[in-house]
Amino acid sequence: MTVRVRIAPSPTGDPHVGTAYIGLINYAFAKKNGGKFVLRIEDTDQTRCTPESAKAIYDSLKWLGLCYDEGPMHDGMGGGDRGPYIQSERVKAGIYQKFADKLLEQGDAYYCFCTARDLDAMRKRQQANNEPIMYNRRCRGGSLAEARERAAKGEAFVIRMKTPLEGEFVYKDRLRKQPTVKGWKEIDDQVLLKSDGWPTYHLAAVVDDHLMGITHVIRAEEWLNSLPKHIWLNEHLGFTAPEYVHVGLLRNADKSKISKRKNPTSLLWYQKQGYLPEALLNFLALLGHSHPDGQEKFTLAEMCSFFDLDRINVAGPVFDMAKLRHLQGQYFRDLSPERMKAEVYRAIDSKFDALLPLVKERMVFGGDFVWQSEPFYADSVTLHAEDLLPKGLDKTQAKHLLEETQQAFKRYVAGDGAVWDAPSLEAFVRKFIEDRTAPGALPDATPEVQSEAALWSPKSLFMLLRVAATGKRESPPLFDTLAQIGQAKVIERLGLAQQKLR
RNA sequence: GCUCCCAUCGUCUAGAGGCCUAGGACACCAGAUUUUCAUUCUGGCGACACGAGUUCGAAUCUCGUUGGGAGUACCA
């Protein structure tokens, strides 16, 4: 039997680093076993999926070098005779409806007419009573003929699976020590077909994995809980189930499932930042799996040759940006002069158009751009304490001003509808100064602070901010500069300036 | 709440009963090289969550506790 594996991302938002991770594992497993790596687009949520997002997935996989053997045709990848590989197209071909009907006929599924309101109320009740939260199966007993009549009259419905009411589900995942055992009564009568007639993930994935001849479903742990449903569906649809294997979830530094709030998750971001695909892939390859000899730097092809599914560690690894950065450096320095040049130009180009109008006022020669725009590209700036002391300020005072301004920026950024552009920033900072210096603005303040208020002049604060943000006493207009540097870096550099004044 | 999963240095991991006074990598600290910085090299810090068993012997097996995570949608 030839190995056939798949990744089945949902095209919502930016392509996700988790897709790359699971993709890498599947890809390596396929190649190691001389099998096929399939891409299927799971766009059955009509409200969230977009074609642009699907395209970004193809491009990202291509960028990483995880070229799929079968899938939507794109840029030399894809094709195959088990298509279409986009579920929305399969919906239109009536594929899922057919299998839902089969279950209905067999008495393994039923029409459910409960409304969202009903379900909501039910859930609230269960929550209040500390009961497990699941559908109460109210519609389960109804006759099929009667239900079909109601449906024909235009009443909204979904189709649910008729989960066994008793007994146990047992499945041994090859990566887990113990078999998964679950009482069927804990398992919900999952919706299979939504009221718009489109399938949910559960039905669509099981049907397509079968139709596409998938032999191994290697996916993230978050699916482990719905495994019984998927096995059940395979059985009742008369399919030979693929082997299901669940690997650990990528984590934030706090061990929670990786999320864009706490970690960059968009592959587009890594690409834009200048991360090399080889480096990112190599880094991902180190998570949950390792080279048998402890080697840490290797190519995709090498990984494919030593990859061993059974050596995967299912504890969810933390995505450690520091280590990624290290590998990126290793790969970058190994680049050929041509490729390195291309990377450098690309990095400059990424901000060039936005920066040139600001910087050009002080330029005499083309080369001046390089040093004058340095603070905008640099990861960090070098500060000199003496530059941070505008006329008339001492260390403590300057530090206070920086501290308070930094706090103000933080509040500003956290606020609703905060716009980080030059006019907004200027308005904000001027208002901030005004509030600080208005007579009686701080009635409860100590005399010390009161006297400090006199120092809040635009002139000294602006210079302070300029130096803190850029490390230089000369720069393009302050607010344009702050806007271009970006909120995160500005706030960070304001903090570093305070440390410098200690 | 309920169900399920997981558990070696701060992080990624090696380790499938004696080779473990637990190895490597990142980070961190110190030193060498470098005019500086970075690179590179050397050294240091640093973990088997806890408690019972099984065994002559346990990081490795079993059970419990604790901790962390996931799921609980007409999202995937």
> Quick check: A318 CB within 7 A of strand B?
yes
Is residue A174 in a domain?
A: yes
Report d(CA A285, CA A281) in Å as an integer. 6
Kindly state whether residues A74 and A99 are assigned to the same domain: no
Q: How does residue A337 score in pLDDT terms, banded at 50, 70 and 90? A: very high
The count of domains in chain A is 4
For residue A215, is pLDDT > 90? Answer: yes
Report d(CA A23, CA A62) in Å as an integer. 12
Chain position carrying tokens 């993230």: A220
Kindly state whether residues A437 and A495 are assigned to the same domain: yes
Q: Which positions of chain B lie under 7 Å from any protein Cβ?
A: 1-8, 10-15, 23-27, 39-40, 61-62, 68-76
Q: Which of A207, A225, A247 is the last residue of a domain?
A: A247
In this prediction, residues A129-139 reach a mean pLDDT of 89
Nearest nucleotide (C1') to the CA of residue A194? B74
Closest CA to A246 of A289, A216, A210, A214: A216
> Quick check: A176 CB within 7 A of strand B?
yes
Residue A439 neighbours by CB under 8 Å, 6+ apart: none
How far in angstroms lies nucleotide B49's C1' from the CA of residue A353? 54
Kindly state whether residues A69 and A107 are assigned to the same domain: no
Kindly state whether residues A43 and A101 are assigned to the same domain: no
Q: Are A74 and A68 in contact (CB under 8 A)?
A: no
> Quick check: A224 CB within 7 A of strand B?
yes
What local confidence, expressed as pLDDT, does residue A157 receive? 94
Chain position carrying tokens 């006022």: A361
Full residue range of the structural domain in which residue A354 is found: 335-371
CATH of the domain at A315: 3.40.50.620
pLDDT tens for A389-439 read 766 677 777 888 888 888 888 888 887 778 888 888 888 888 888 877 766
Kindly state whether residues A224 and A291 are assigned to the same domain: no
Q: Which of A201, A223, A247 is the last residue of a domain?
A: A247
Is residue A327 in a domain?
A: no
> Quick check: A185 CB within 7 A of strand B?
no
What local confidence, expressed as pLDDT, does residue A447 receive? 56
List the structure tokens of A323: 């280590």
Report d(CA A240, CA A298) in Å as an integer. 37
Kindly state whether residues A137 and A169 are assigned to the same domain: yes
Kindly state whether residues A100 and A230 are assigned to the same domain: yes
Report d(CA A6, CA A4) in Å as an integer. 7
pLDDT tens for A148-190 read 999 999 999 999 999 999 899 999 999 998 888 899 999 999 9
CATH of the domain at A139: 3.90.800.10
Kindly state whether residues A480 and A399 are assigned to the same domain: yes
Is residue A168 in a domain?
A: yes
Closest CA to A41 of A62, A24, A19, A63: A19
Is residue A423 in a domain?
A: yes
Q: Which of A247, A272, A294 is the last residue of a domain?
A: A247
> Quick check: A226 CB within 7 A of strand B?
yes
What local confidence, expressed as pLDDT, does residue A453 receive? 61
What local confidence, expressed as pLDDT, does residue A1 receive? 80
Nearest nucleotide (C1') to the CA of residue A258? B69
Kindly state whether residues A231 and A267 are assigned to the same domain: no
pLDDT tens for A279-298 read 999 999 999 999 999 999 99
Is residue A328 in a domain?
A: no
Closest CA to A270 of A53, A260, A375: A260
What local confidence, expressed as pLDDT, does residue A341 receive? 94
Kindly state whether residues A237 and A110 are assigned to the same domain: yes
How far in angstroms lies nucleotide B19's C1' from the CA of residue A293? 17
How far in angstroms lies nucleotide B69's C1' from the CA of residue A315? 9
pLDDT tens for A252-265 read 999 999 999 999 99
**Side-chain-side CA neighbours of residue A373 (13 Å):** 23
Name the β-bridge partners of A171: A180
Q: How does residue A342 score in pLDDT terms, banded at 50, 70 and 90? A: very high
In this prediction, residues A51-59 reach a mean pLDDT of 97
How far in angstroms lies nucleotide B32's C1' from the CA of residue A299? 32
Kindly state whether residues A403 and A484 are assigned to the same domain: yes
What local confidence, expressed as pLDDT, does residue A349 receive? 93
How far in angstroms lies nucleotide B22's C1' from the CA of residue A296? 20
Average pLDDT over chain A, rounded to an integer? 91
Q: Residue A260 catalytic?
A: yes
Chain A 351-390 residues in 7 Å CB range of strand B: none
Set A260, A262, A297, A323: catalytic member: A260
Is residue A330 in a domain?
A: no
What local confidence, expressed as pLDDT, does residue A291 receive? 95
Name the β-bridge partners of A74: A77
Say if residue A264 is preceded by a cis peptide, omega within 30 of 0. Answer: no
What local confidence, expressed as pLDDT, does residue A222 receive? 95
pLDDT tens for A344-399 read 999 999 999 999 999 999 999 998 898 889 889 887 777 777 777 766 677 777 88
Is residue A326 in a domain?
A: no
CATH of the domain at A488: 1.10.10.350
In this prediction, residues A234-247 reach a mean pLDDT of 97
Kindly state whether residues A347 and A311 are assigned to the same domain: no
Separate counts of helices (H) and strands (E) for chain A: 21, 11
Look up residue A224 and give its DSSP letter. Answer: G
Report d(CA A168, CA A181) in Å as an integer. 7
In this prediction, residues A200-213 reach a mean pLDDT of 98
pLDDT tens for A440-494 read 555 555 555 556 666 677 777 888 888 888 888 888 889 999 999 988 888 888 8
Report d(CA A463, CA A426) in Å as an integer. 14
- Protein residue with the closest CA to the C1' atom of nucleotide B23: A294
In this prediction, residues A245-251 reach a mean pLDDT of 97
Q: What angle do CA A480, A486, A491 make, to 5 degrees?
A: 110
- Protein residue with the closest CA to the C1' atom of nucleotide B1: A130
Which helix or strand (DSSP H or E) is residue A214 part of? Answer: none
Q: What angle do CA A478, A483, A487 make, to 5 degrees?
A: 115
Chain A 282-311 residues in 7 Å CB range of strand B: 286-290, 292, 294, 296, 311
> Quick check: A422 CB within 7 A of strand B?
no
For residue A128, is pLDDT > 90? Answer: no
pLDDT tens for A78-125 read 888 997 999 999 999 999 999 999 999 999 999 999 998 889 999 998
Is residue A223 in a domain?
A: yes
Report d(CA A46, CA A200) in Å as an integer. 11
pLDDT tens for A25-49 read 999 999 999 999 999 999 999 999 9
What local confidence, expressed as pLDDT, does residue A207 receive? 98
What local confidence, expressed as pLDDT, does residue A62 receive? 98
> Quick check: A211 CB within 7 A of strand B?
no
